Amino acid sequence: MVRHYRGSILIITLWLVTILATLTVATARYLSFEVHLTKYRMAREQAKVLARSGVYLAMQRLATDAQEESYDWLQDDWAIFPQEDPDTDLSVWKVLMYPKENTARETSASIGYVEIRITDEDRNLDINKASLNEITYLIGSADAASAIVDYYDSDTDGQWETSVEDPPYIPKNAPVTVLEELLAVPGVASLFSLLEQSTVAIPPTNTPMAVNINTANAKVLGAIGMPSLADDIIQFRKQGHYFTDLNPPTAEDPTVVVPFDTSDTEFLNTQNRLSVVSRVFRVETTGRIQNQTVNARVKAVVDRALIGKATQALPKVLSWQEG
């Protein structure tokens, strides 16, 4: 009887040890998961802070550039960044983040980094101000261009206002906030890449956007009225030249002859729409935490109109997207 009792106690003890061991393993795994999750959340927040900080670094760089010179071009300080690695994309500015106590400042010692890319939007046409003919020139479809204008204009007399499509489509009749809105416009999805290459959606402002002759592509220059001069201007820029003034047209080197006659009809008819300075910029940043392989992205559009003026006003953020 005693042996049977002792045997029962031994079996119960073994079961308890097994249960406790199982609970210990489960708890350890749970705690390990929580630790990893906490580390990930911390890394994610760090990446977000890096990405957001990158936008403000870009704003400061744009402010400094505006104070130093009154023109913008594709090799400007905001457009290219010196890199130690010759294979690195010069259009991306990489800023490393180190632990507070670290003084070595070696790449391998950094916690993470933020990549910053700055692009002026004045190389593009504001889709909310572009005419039917201009949009047609850019995308090659009068029907799609008509649908785009019908989407953002304020009237209700367009062909799509009483659409019987299934599913139904109703124009916004208000300014485009982001270009992606236009993917819903009939006939635009297949041409959207062309829109992205040459247009931008800018919220309505009192100051009209001019096209920067130093950064706009040939398609944009042609759309606003210089189809014959566009290729010559692009070739002029490929040779390392740029305009510092348009009244009269002057290159960075006064001895360099500009690529068109200043009495040319196309230039004279378009001059009031051109500029040598960019006002609106797109800033794209990616914050990365190396030991967690975590990243966060921010895309912001900023208006530099007041930067460098006597008011010393900060740039105005027109849009901000995080992902």
Burial of 243 by CB count in 10 Å (0-12 exposed, 13-18 middle, 19+ buried)? Answer: buried
Q: What's the confidence (pLDDT) of residue 3? A: 54
Q: Return the closest-CA partner of residue 172 out of 140, 128, 228, 226.
A: 128
What Rg do the C-alpha atoms of the chain give, in angstroms?
A: 29
Host H or E run for residue 197: helix 192-198
User: Averaged over 177-192, what is the pLDDT?
Assistant: 91
Per residue in 202-241, pLDDT (tens digit) is: 877 656 789 999 999 999 999 999 999 999 999 999 999 9
> Cα dihedral angle (280, 286, 287, 289), rounded to 10 degrees?
-170
pTM to 2 decimal places: 0.82
Burial of 45 by CB count in 10 Å (0-12 exposed, 13-18 middle, 19+ buried)? Answer: middle
Lowest mean pLDDT, pick from 15-19, 145-149, 220-224: 15-19
pLDDT for 277 beyond 70? yes
Lowest mean pLDDT, pick from 126-135, 159-168, 231-240: 159-168
pLDDT for 124 beyond 50? yes
Lowest mean pLDDT, pick from 106-115, 196-205, 267-276: 106-115
Domains of the chain: 44-121+278-322 (3.30.1300.30), 126-191 (no CATH)
Q: Return the closest-CA partner of residue 296 out of 40, 18, 46, 30.
A: 46
User: Averaged over 194-200, what is the pLDDT?
Assistant: 94
Residue 167: cis peptide before it, omega within 30 degrees of 0:
yes
The average confidence (pLDDT) of the chain is: 85
- Residue 278: both structure tokens together: 């960019």
277/213 Cα distance (integer angstroms): 9
Q: What's the confidence (pLDDT) of residue 104? A: 55
Per residue in 110-123, pLDDT (tens digit) is: 788 999 999 999 99
Q: What's the confidence (pLDDT) of residue 253? A: 95
Higher local confidence (pLDDT), 4 or 22: 22
DSSP characters over 278-295: --EEEEEEEEEEGGGTEE
- The most confident of the ranges 17-31, 135-149, 165-179 is 135-149
Q: What's the confidence (pLDDT) of residue 244? A: 96
Q: What's the confidence (pLDDT) of residue 310? A: 45
- Is residue 211 within 8 A of residue 123, CB to CB? The reply is yes
Higher local confidence (pLDDT), 21 or 273: 273
Please name the amino acid found at residue 207.
Answer: T
Q: What's the confidence (pLDDT) of residue 11? A: 72
- The most confident of the ranges 36-45, 176-185, 215-224, 308-317 is 215-224
Q: What's the confidence (pLDDT) of residue 5? A: 58
173/187 Cα distance (integer angstroms): 18
pLDDT for 64 beyond 80? yes
Lowest mean pLDDT, pick from 109-118, 160-169, 185-194, 236-245: 160-169
pLDDT for 164 beyond 60? no
